Homo-oligomer: A and B are copies of this chain.
Amino acid sequence: MSTSSSRKALNIGNINPHLLKAQYAVRGELAQRSEVYRQQLATGGDELSFDTVISANIGNPQQLDQQPITFFRQVLSILEYPALLEKEGLFPEDVRERARVLLKEVGSVGAYSQSQGCLGIRRSVAEFIEARDGYPADPRDIFLTAGASSGVNTILNTICSHPATGVLIPIPQYPLYTATLALTNATPVPYFLDEATAWSTDAEQIRSEISKAKAAGTDLKCLVVINPGNPTGATLTESGIEAVIALAAEERLVIMADEVYQTNVYSGEFHSFKKVLRNMQKASPGVYDEVELVSFHSVSKGMVGECGHRGGYFELVGFDPEVQAQIYKLVSIFLCPPVIGQCLVGLMVNPPAPGSPSYELYQKEYNSIFEGLKLRSRALYDAFLRMEGVKCQDPLGAMYLFPTITIPTAAVEKAQEEGRRPDEFYCLRLLEATGICVIPGSGFGQREGEWHFRTTFLAPGVDWVGRLEKFHEGFMNEYR
């Protein structure tokens, strides 16, 4: 990009160079082009060869098929307009009662809350964690956030102190991590997940990356684990988590456990890092006492799917109180997370209890979303099995599949001519031909010489899967 032509004081040659370096493919060129197509379709769009854009690029359930959970939204509507409480019979009694409790806690959803989030809601989160893990949690260690993204940003901005600060991140990864590390000007230290064993996390692999990074002078501070994984869907076993924690203890690394997909598990079981850590601390007194863990959760994923509300939290475990005070100061500069989003966190962690008027509907909606995700993941997976040169791991968790594709040499050459990576070339052709937007594997990281793409399995129906299969066949025929 040439800069000499700009007559502007601020130009690409003198803005923050770390921003220039950051990459975030999930909302990059392909996503932007898909938005252009969507606009074109809305205003005619006869020149396009498809009639809908399928945004399989981003885990955004309510943009597609998923309906919000009724109980949550009924409570939120009262929080916005408390006069609805006076209308008898409009809402079930437990909805009204919950709204009253939350209103008491936040006052008005239009008021700034405490910087760390409303105390009453942090108490609910602590109770949820305790019920989930069997170990207590302290509301003072919980920070409500504007989605997990903002929590990750807060923690990385606290940890990263100089360019050699190293943060271990899984590859493939959700690119929030590399992008934020680019912005904070720290060093991402990639460790590979193993596709052959269902994208498992291997502590030995991490250990060898640690040795290499140390030899290169990196000041390793932190280890990121995404569990269940994005884009892989893999869920760590209990012993896998133990191995990671033991390694972190040995190497004195802060663990960032991104657990936003904790309820999106279709095979196996979710174990929280906090629970496994507490188990280890109990089993070996003294050995793991100093481990520092921060775990993230969000209203965006799971069966909640309320991305637009920007709600989430992180829990600090074993942090130095002085550091915790600095984290408090950092979040306070931006005043507070969105209060309606905070309330939604409160609802997510404390849904209708069995026997309450809203329980049955809640269960029904929850289960039907869960079953829908499971079914669609299967349908998509089955389609991949039928496609030439495509390999895919079993759908295990999260909202994504991340198949490997074989790209014919002729297509690789054509991509090079266009100055694109082969997987990018493939995804762009797919978008142009079908309106289906997926993200090339290079946006998440992959081994040299391998090509993948990530697709969500959120889009309803099977029609689009057919479009994808047909495109793939044509692509292979053209370039084989």
Residues of A in contact with B (beta carbons under 8 Å apart) = 1, 3, 6-12, 14-17, 19-20, 22, 24, 26-28, 35, 58, 60-63, 68, 73-74, 76-81, 84, 87, 90, 106-115, 146-147, 149-150, 153, 157-161, 176, 179-180, 183-184, 221, 252-254, 290, 292, 300, 305-310, 318-320, 322-323, 326, 329-330, 332-341
Contact = CB atoms under 8 A, between A and B. Distances in A.
A176 B12 CA distance: 26
A338 B84 CA distance: 23
Given A24-B333, A77-B78, 5 more contacts: A6-B322, A19-B157, A73-B80, A109-B308, A310-B335
B63 A111 contact: yes
B90 A87 contact: yes
Contacts of A176: 333
Contact of A107 (B17, B62, B74): B62
A261 to B, nearest CB: 16
A146 to B, nearest CB: 6
Contact of A111 (B60, B157, B253): B60
A410 to B, nearest CB: 32
Contacts of A62: 107-108, 110-111
Contacts of A337: 310
Contacts of A8: 290, 292, 318-320, 323
Given A19-B157, A76-B81, A90-B87, A10 B221 contact: yes
A99 to B, nearest CB: 11
A330 B309 CA distance: 19
B160 A320 contact: no
A81 B74 contact: yes
A15 B80 contact: no
Given A77-B84, A110-B62, A330 B254 contact: no
A2 B323 CA distance: 12
Contacts of A292: 8-10
A309 B338 contact: yes
Contacts of A339: 308-310
